[in-house]
Every structure is written in structure tokens, then in C-alpha cells.
Amino acid sequence: MSERMTVVMSERLGAIGEAEQAIVRAGATLRSAPLWTEDDLVTEGADADILIVGASEPVNRPVLARLPRLRLVVRRGVGVDNVDVAAATELGIPVAYVPSASVEEVSDHALALLLASERRLFDIHDAARAGDSAEAAKVGGQSRRFADLTLGIIGFGRIGRALARKSRSVFGTVLAYDPMPASPEAGVTAVSLDELLASSDLISLHAPGGPVVLDAAAFARLRPGTVVVNTARGELIDEDALRAAIAGGTVARAALDVTREEPLPDGSPLRAESRIRLTAHTGAKGSRSGPALRQGVVDAVLAALAGETPAYLADPSVTPREI
């Protein structure tokens, strides 16, 4: 490292902790800063050689073009959809990420939401808390046997595969759709998206950010009473179409860990719909995943500071310039 490098970490990721102190010990300057908006990123990141961001910071083309010192972006998490990787590639800026730290936690969360939604545990809890045991019993009596149900998994990467592994002994049938050809998985049937939508009793989303997957047309193809869970990306669901599908009975219940707008404003209609349960983007949280995510970020930064290539790059053809 020929000069002292500056690493700027988004304040939304929490305080600088012991794990991050390894960056300082490696000879870099490290500070936490508000990186909520494009202007924040340009102002606070003006002297940054390395940026550490989460899932919401808008690291887009205009921002990247105005950060001439930038040599590396590190996304703390599995997705990079808030980072314009194509623009970064054109500018010679590698984008590192941490793909494996929370696979178990997110797939656990998805399975927990699927089971709780189908067993009507949220509704039973509400009735029981209100002292209405008769209503709790009535609601519980409407749940279906897991072994009779078909689970459809949309997106069959690390997390989708982990959910499938955990679900094979729970649900009668497990279907999977992924736009990229996937290797066979024991106990899982690969199908088209149309077949999955038409055949599933429960659907769990695990696709990367991109085009809407569940829009009005997709909801129209579902079986009446389908349960929908999203622990992937908020933009995968047309939320107005979801509420319409719930009102029409196509979707019985939905559990959303992620939403298009985070945090949800007080007036959001999603808050008012009792058949939509919200978990505020906590799916990746856990006693093991949190430290693993932090360490994965630190490892990527330390690799770059040492003139090495981070383990996971969104575009492996772009490696850090000499630091």
C-alpha cells in the first residue's frame, strides 16, 4: 500500500466494530458516514478509495462517475442490485460481495414464514391474545396438512437450494424455477415459471433483483388460496397486484420480509392489510450470520489493501487496481 487509503462505510450498517478495526490495523483510514442518497455518496465518498455499502445505497452510474478515487465497492450481503455493476465494470471498479454468510438464516426465515402462514399461526396468535379461543380454534382448523401441499421455489441459487433441502421432508412436492439452467436436485422437480405458478400451493421467492416476477398476470395464474413469501427483493412483487389478489382470494396470505420501500411509511397500504405479515428485512439476521457478514466484508477490503483479489466479485473480469 503506497499511500494511506480511505475506506468509507455506510452508517446504516451500524457502528464500526472490532472486526472492522482490522482495516485500520492494515494501515487504512476507516470512517462511517451517511450514504443514504446519491448526494450523500458523492459528498461523503469524495475521498473514498473503498466504499462499503448495504442493500439500499444508490451506487449508480452517475454516482460512480463522480468518484474518481474509488477502487473498490464492497456490498455487505448477497445481492448487488443497488450497485450498477455494468457501470462499475466500464470504469474499472470491481464490486465485491458476501454471498454465503446468511444463506442458512434467510432460508430458515423463508421456511418459518411458509409454515407459520400455512398453519395460520399469526392469526391464531391475534385471536388468542384477544382472548377469543373459539376464533383461534376456528382459524387453526382451516390450515392444510403440509404433506398434501406443493411448494414452488422461484430462484434456485444458494438460498433457494437451501430452502429446498430443508423443505423436501416437509411438503409433499417441491418445484423449482430458475431462468438459468440449474443442475438437478434430489427431491426437487424443475419446471417452467408458468407450471410452477399453476401448480403450487405455496410460493417462495429467491430470485435476484430485476424484473417483476409476480404481477397481476402471474397472480391470475395461481391456485385460489396460495400463500406467497418473499425474502429476496421487494421489486419482485407488484404490491398493488398482490393486494388485489388477496382481495380476490387468489392469494390467501403473504409474508414479506422485503418490500419495495424500506422502511415502510406509516401510510403504506401493506401495513393495513391483515393478511400480509411483515418482518422488516430481518431474514438475514442471526447470531452467526451477522459476524460472518462483517468478516466477509473485512476480508474483501483486506485482500484489496494487500493487492489481492477479493474472493467474490460480481464481475470477476474486473480486479482491484494496485493500492
Catalytic (active-site) positions: 233, 262, 281
DSSP labels for 177-224? E-SS-----TT-EE--HHHHHHH-SEEEE-PPSSS-SB-HHHHHTSPT
DSSP letter (8 states) at residue 322: P
Distance from C-alpha of 157 to C-alpha of 201, rounded to nearest angstrom: 21
- Residue 105's Cβ-side half-sphere holds a number of Cα atoms within 13 Å equal to 20
DSSP letter (8 states) at residue 252: E
Burial class (CB in 10 A: 0-12, 13-18, 19+), 171: buried
Give the Cβ contact number of residue 134 at 10 Å.
8
Cell 403504506 sits on residue: 268
Those residues with Cβ within 8 angstroms of residue 272's Cβ, 6 or more apart along the chain or in another chain: none
Residue type, 93: I
Under 8 Å between Cβ of 94 and 88: yes
150-154 vs 251-256, strand pairing mode = unpaired
Q: Whose CA is closest to 21, among 30, 12, 9, 10?
A: 30
Q: Give the sheet arrangement for strand 95-97, strand by strand.
A: 29-33, 6-10, 50-53, 72-75, 95-97
Give the Cβ contact number of residue 142 at 10 Å.
11
